Amino acid sequence: MLESADTNSDDTAKCPGLLGGSDDLLEQVRNDWSREEIEKVFMLPFNDLLFKAQTVHRIWFDPNKVQMSTLLSIKTGGCPEDCGYCSQSVKFDTGIGASALMSVKDVLETARQAKEGGASRFCMGAAWRNPKDRDMGAICSMIEGVKSLGMESCMTLGMLTKSQAEKLKSAGLDYYNHNIDTSRRYYKKIISTRTMDDRIETLDKVREAGLNVCCGGIVGMGESREDRIDMLHTFATMPSHPQSVPINMLVRVEGTPLGESNSIDPFDFVRTIAVARITMPKSVVRLSAGREKMNEEFQALCFLAGANSIFIGEQLLTTPNPELSKDKSLFGRLGIEPMSSHECPSEI
Ligand code: SF4
């Protein structure tokens, strides 16, 4: 068990290089990271880690630009899955009932408002195990409508068949989100109704359909540092890195099995962001759920560690998110500007 980042080896403590060697490695995009290498990076002294993350960040991105997305729940509650953190599962008593799929018109009205608020991407999430073929027509109309507003589109609908992934691509979808959530080892403690391999399979179909992949995880679910390192290793060794990597801090929801979880050490959260940035240098790393509980200094540290995307808007599916005015004020104080569409260097 790794208890403290102070336990780094003499090598990493003394040497200014990424892994005790040359910093040339910082400029490479690699899919062959070993678990040991990622652990060494994770365990660097905090200042070294942040310096290296920011160095990598500046190779590929404007350090003062952050991508802004808005996330709308287009079908809320009643989900048959049992993800232990989720307010929308039928298995837990969270007070959230099941609703029908929103109308295309209402979704597009919300997208228009999101665009006015500064969002360049509109993400739509449905609480499904997988979409039914009968819903695909409405889903595709939503994508086409969002695209016609000049926004990027993202969907998260659960597991997909090959033909559903292809239909989404034909409708113009830019990104598909499907998170692996945590390490393979810890996964079984969080979800029993579908496996990590089910998720990897859907991600393969999404990639094969030519869609950009949005795939991330949640920290603060009681997992160990080893689990965080394992999760980062899974992302960093995918056939190609997800173009978007949301790192969420658990939002504890009363009534869910994780409603009483202990908080994560904020520095470990920042380390997770920094290692994502270093190991997936061309990906956009999103500081995702949990911002409502972070103070502005914590968020600024995440941006310094290489996070360059957020969700704006006061609600994230069913949980709270900072008010737009607060985000605008924070960005003003930090000199951060919105990233425009399609600025991610690894985007298809
Ligand atoms: S996270 Fe998604 S799949 Fe899991 S219970 Fe919630 S809505 Fe269902």
Measured in Å, residue 195 CA sits from the centre of ligand 1 at: 13
Measured in Å, residue 19 CA sits from the centre of ligand 1 at: 38
Which H or E run includes 56?
Answer: helix 46-60
**Domain tally, the chain:** 1
3-class DSSP assignment, residue 64? coil
Q: What is the pTM of this model?
A: 0.91
Measured in Å, residue 6 CA sits from the centre of ligand 1 at: 37
With a 6 A CB cut-off, is 127 part of the ligand 1 pocket?
Answer: yes
Pair 229, 17: CB distance under 8 Å: no
17 is a domain residue: no
25 is a domain residue: no
334 is a domain residue: yes
pLDDT 10s per residue in the chain (348 long)? 343 444 334 444 333 455 555 555 667 899 999 999 999 999 999 999 999 999 999 999 999 999 989 999 999 999 999 999 999 999 999 999 899 999 999 999 999 999 998 899 999 999 999 999 999 999 999 999 999 999 999 999 999 999 999 999 999 999 999 999 999 999 999 999 999 999 999 999 999 999 999 999 999 999 999 999 999 999 999 999 999 999 999 999 999 999 988 889 999 999 999 999 999 999 999 999 999 889 999 999 999 999 999 988 877 788 888 888 898 999 999 999 998 888 888 888
Q: For residue 190, what are the CA distances in angstroms to 83, 87, 243, 256, 260? A: 6, 13, 25, 11, 14
- Atom of ligand 1 lying closest to residue 191 CA: 4
198 is a domain residue: yes
Please give the full DSSP string across 168-236, using - where no structure is assigned. Answer: HHHTT--EEE---BS-HHHHHHH-SSS-HHHHHHHHHHHHHTTPEEE--EEE-SS--HHHHHHHHHHHH
Pair 247, 273: CB distance under 8 Å: yes
With a 6 A CB cut-off, is 79 part of the ligand 1 pocket?
Answer: yes
229 is a domain residue: yes
Q: Tell me the residue range of the domain where 293 lies.
A: 58-338
Please list the residues that pair with 65 across neighbouring strands: 337
35 is a domain residue: no
DSSP state of 7: G
CATH number of the domain encompassing residue 110: 3.20.20.70
- Atom of ligand 1 lying closest to residue 86 CA: 6
Is there a catalytic annotation at residue 83?
yes
Pair 67, 30: CB distance under 8 Å: no
Is there a catalytic annotation at residue 286?
yes
26 is a domain residue: no
176 is a domain residue: yes
